[in-house]
A and B are shown apart, each in its own frame.
Chain A
């Protein structure tokens, strides 16, 4: 079991009190791919951020990779066990593709000099996402699809067991979206990673082994 969420509650008090998650239970096995669909404003991204320890639930238990994620050092969990892929890519703009991919390794205080293991791994990841010739390009010079591929490579930099993708194709055209799915799933499959993705796209949802719908603050199959 890579992720276990028990009775996750989340409510916002501002501007008006709103109970958004009403006791979510979720279990994800190693190598399992999960999609969460739902209407806009249902709390999909909030749930994903809670699962990724970016946000604290009001109530509930969360266990990631065997650690209690509400008590354990959340930054370390994010750095080691989780890789994020966002809809808006969220790359560091003044850095090259390689520097972006290497950032999680730097945060983990690993050597990132040229020729180091981390650097070689990052170059391999960029090659795997088809950006071999864009390694030293500033990310500002890349297209949307390329940026998302860099983001996927970055999410995999520290070899996490769980990938959380928040509408990974939201800002891409169909062709690019399919390329991203292919890359994402080939990694998940080859390296036995677990994937939780929030999406509106049925194609992506269909590619996942388990599909959930978030409705009225609860998950339904």
Chain B
């Protein structure tokens, strides 16, 4: 194609066309910078938006089907309240789905249908339409969807936090409260194992959680040794403490622990010649960090000697406590062969091994002495808590501890740990008054509800627990309380799937009983997502303007080029080049510049995104504070390049540079060859 070859010839920088070359270079640089900015910004915001959306709907689903008022006013829903088969109570969606009878009403036994009740909605065969089952069938027939019932209700949670850690002398006296109770009104939502987002937002079990589980089990000793034993067995079957660290006040060890013929540096706490205690640091280098007199201890033939201030060693007389300094790391293994015969928690012993200043110190520690630092988890064992990444079908329930529940991050931040126990309280009406009921619970894990406005107050429990509490609030028929979560493989398909479900509902004749919403329409996401969308639209508009400004340089460059190449245009025309070909040459010049700038910009953007975190860390270090608030943006910014952004910049720069090339191209094509050739 001769137009292409001529255009490329024109684009090669030449000394003779210095002004054209400089303007071209500036245009390409400006376009590259704009493209870089747009791709990076859109990729990051797109990733953030996706992350936020995932977090927002982490506890629900991208599509939700909720009963309308017509459902709650329907014969189908109300009939349970006067039917013996249904226990004279209205049923949840889940109960309706599981029930064998569509119409539980038996005129023989049940009271007469009250005057003015809605008429039953019958199908073609004259049977009562099973609105719930038809709904599930309609949803299931849409490819790629899975439907699950959800229930939510409001209740109170009281959580006792037993902390038996020793009082830290250096700490704030306010921290010394041994027992604390957290109490809050919460939204109780049903745990849905099919929710793919849930494993992603679960916090892993920490050493503090394991410690808390052990401490809580220890405390059960007070109630009964049997209960303690059962709990301890349960815990140690699931978790194996592997490494420990010594507590803040240090770990007391006996002199027997010190190996023979081994010189160890210690720090002596003394007043005059009276020695109160010896502190043994893990590393010799740490000796200078401890207050006290540095000294060396040595054990020979069972007798300890102490050498202080380069003086000759003297025998260590009397009983002097030796402490391993706080945070000394060691390895442990369970010593007690069988927990079945243990009567008290103190009888559970561990073999501990500390590597101190090159020497192996072996000792035996009681379970109350160990502070777990590292542990391994037996995933095959029946778990007490919900592990990260592997969710059970139902949350565990322990006859001693109660029902397992999952708490949001805010509780973890308030100091709650896995193993903490408490109860959910709710009220049920009796003939004369409201009676408080309690369901014992224990914390089985924590999840990050993200930026969900009420996320800090959502608690997840098994369906059975939610149903029991929700049955106490029979009038609780808001859309939040009961509905169907519809999960789909791709968030972008939400609208299409919503339309397909609505169509199926219509075909089944149940469309008036159900409201289908996508995540963009939920009341708790609507405003936020609209805000995000309008910000993106605004930036798209701004970036279009910036691209236009950047591409306007192309117009000036091409006009100069056309003037420069006037004679050649005349020559090409005399040889038979059409005016369209001439226009195409300059149009190609414009597009090539636009695309070249875009390519450079995209390459820069990919490089930036690849090193985004390092770049942010560097800027944060330079300016002295976090560039992005991790609470809102997460620990790392998303750095996946957005295809949407790439398509946007490539098409818009190509189009705008083409438009920018049109004016000079038309100007070039309209030149009269005769006039040009004669002007020489």
Contact = CB atoms under 8 A, between A and B. Distances in A.
Given A45-B678, A88-B680, A106-B5, A54 B573 contact: yes
Interface string A185-200: 0000000000000000
A10 B575 CA distance: 23
A218 B568 CA distance: 32
A80 B581 CA distance: 16
A90 B574 contact: yes
Contacts of B596: none
Contact of B567 (A80, A84, A90): A90
A108 B567 contact: no
B678 A80 contact: no
A93 B567 CA distance: 10
Interface string A62-100: 000000000001011111100010101011111100000
Interface residues of B, number: 24
A107 B573 CA distance: 10
Contact of A103 (B572, B678, B680): B572
Q: SS class of chain B's interface: helix, strand, loop or mixed?
A: helix
Contacts of B673: 54
Contact of A79 (B568, B575, B672, B678): B575
Nearest to A103: B575
B575 A78 contact: yes
A171 to B, nearest CB: 10
B677 A49 contact: yes
A46 B675 CA distance: 10
B241 interface: no
B572 A78 contact: no
Contacts of B319: none
B606 to A, nearest CB: 35
A108 B581 CA distance: 11
A133 B420 CA distance: 96
A139 to B, nearest CB: 12
A106 B7 CA distance: 14
A123 B5 CA distance: 20
Interface string B556-590: 00000000000110111111111101000000000
B576 A104 contact: yes
Contact of A84 (B574, B578, B678): B574
Contacts of A93: 568
A2 to B, nearest CB: 17
A53 to B, nearest CB: 9
B9 interface: yes
A158 B577 CA distance: 13
B576 A107 contact: yes
A106 B574 contact: no
Contacts of B678: 45, 49
B24 to A, nearest CB: 16
B261 interface: no
The 9 closest A-B pairs by CB, nearest first: A79-B576, A106-B2, A55-B674, A78-B576, A54-B674, A75-B578, A49-B674, A88-B680, A104-B575
8 contacts: A75-B576, A76-B576, A78-B576, A90-B571, A90-B680, A92-B568, A94-B14, A108-B576
Interface of B: 1-2, 5, 9, 14, 567-568, 570-579, 581, 672-674, 677-678, 680
